[in-house]
Amino acid sequence: MAYSNKVLDHYNNPRNVGSLDKSDPNVGTGMVGAPECGDVMKLQLKVDPKSGIIEDAKFKTFGCGSAIASSSLATEWIKGKTVDEALQIKNTDIVNELSLPPVKIHCSVLAEDAIKAAISDYKKKAGMNRQPVSEAVS
Amino acid sequence: MEACWQCGHPQHESLFCQFCNSLQRPTPDYYRFLGLERKLSLDSKDLQNRFYNLSRLLHPDRYLRRTPKERQYSLEATAILNDAYRVLRDHVLRAEYVLKEEGFNIGEQRSENVPPELLEEVFELNLALEELRGGDSSARPQLCEAYARFVAMQDEADNRLSELFRRYDTTGDREALAEVRGVLNRRKYIRNLVSEVEKELAASAA
């Protein structure tokens, strides 16, 4: 099956490959996978706590070209957005941008899930930080 | 209960009418087609015997001079038979088939069905493999080591599947089926790793 030029571009020159410090309270990590194809995708984002803007994003994906391109594009898109704006990104946006064929739509779903998982991890951390430890324990 | 299309006698889930022996519309259910109970553990020798036997009985050449209906049924039945044998002889495909028949969604699973520890583990294994892959021929012993480890993990998953198959077959417990699905997911990831290393070993040997 032929990949679109945009998929090939992201596949050959993936943006933002790498990782961020997982223990940083401003970093959210999302790890998602698709058992039917054996893909696994890790997406991390770093939020500026004052502005709520995503200042950095990294990913690492083991999977097909479409999965790599979807996550590469996702990190590109979320950088500079607020957390709430990033949550608005839909898998269909990724499908359209990369011209993914129907059999590869699940790759875009995975990328959307990864963004959501990373943000929910960040929010969980931020929420825990706001609460005094004594209250959180009781 | 259906009646024989030819002689009108009631039928009892059989491929052939017990009275006039004409071929009936084949059931698409792989187990019923082969006259088996829906068990996850199957005797492969018995399965093979049933396959050969039915292949002979249903072969379209035997129906060349029969009614058009029987000719059509023999074609349909042969197609189902081949699919049924291909699926049921393979323990993974068989388990996926039973899960689907029992209403489990196995195609489009999202991440919530995959335990995070498994994803972490698979991610780390992939990372390690990637490092070996970038290396020169000196990485070959480590690749072989990784291969042995992944194959052992796959065997472990298969053993776990056999246990769960037995549990489901004796108790009909749906919990066991849910666990089967979990192990199948895990096995899929491991299977991918195994074939990745195989590719790498083949490339470095060439």
Contacts of A32 in chain B (CB under 8 A): 111, 114, 119
Segments of chain A with pLDDT less than 50: 132-138
Q: What is the rounded (10 degree) CA torsion for B129, B134, B137, B140?
A: 0
Architecture of the domain made up of B1-89: Orthogonal Bundle (1.10)
Is position A64 annotated as part of the catalytic site?
Answer: no
- CB contact under 8 Å between A33 and B188, yes or no, is no
pLDDT for B137 beyond 80:
no
The pLDDT tens digits of the residues spanning B17-74 come to: 888 888 999 999 999 999 999 999 999 999 999 999 999 999 999 999 999 999 999 9
Is position A37 annotated as part of the catalytic site?
Answer: yes
For the structural domain made of A5-125, what CATH number should be given? 3.90.1010.10
| Mean of all residue pLDDT scores within chain B | 89
The pLDDT tens digits of the residues spanning A65-87 come to: 899 999 999 999 999 999 999 99
Q: Given strand A27-34, what is the order of strands in its sheet? A: A27-34, A39-47, A54-62
Token readout for B148 is 């042995």
Residue B64: the pLDDT is 92
- CB contact under 8 Å between B119 and A40, yes or no, is yes
Per domain, the residue ranges of chain B are 1-89, 112-205
The pLDDT tens digits of the residues spanning B138-197 come to: 777 888 888 898 999 999 999 999 999 999 999 999 999 999 998 998 898 899 889 888
Residue A129: the pLDDT is 56
Residue B12: the pLDDT is 74
- Is A75 in contact with A15 (CB distance < 8 Å)? yes
pLDDT for B105 beyond 80:
no
The pLDDT tens digits of the residues spanning B74-83 come to: 999 999 999 9
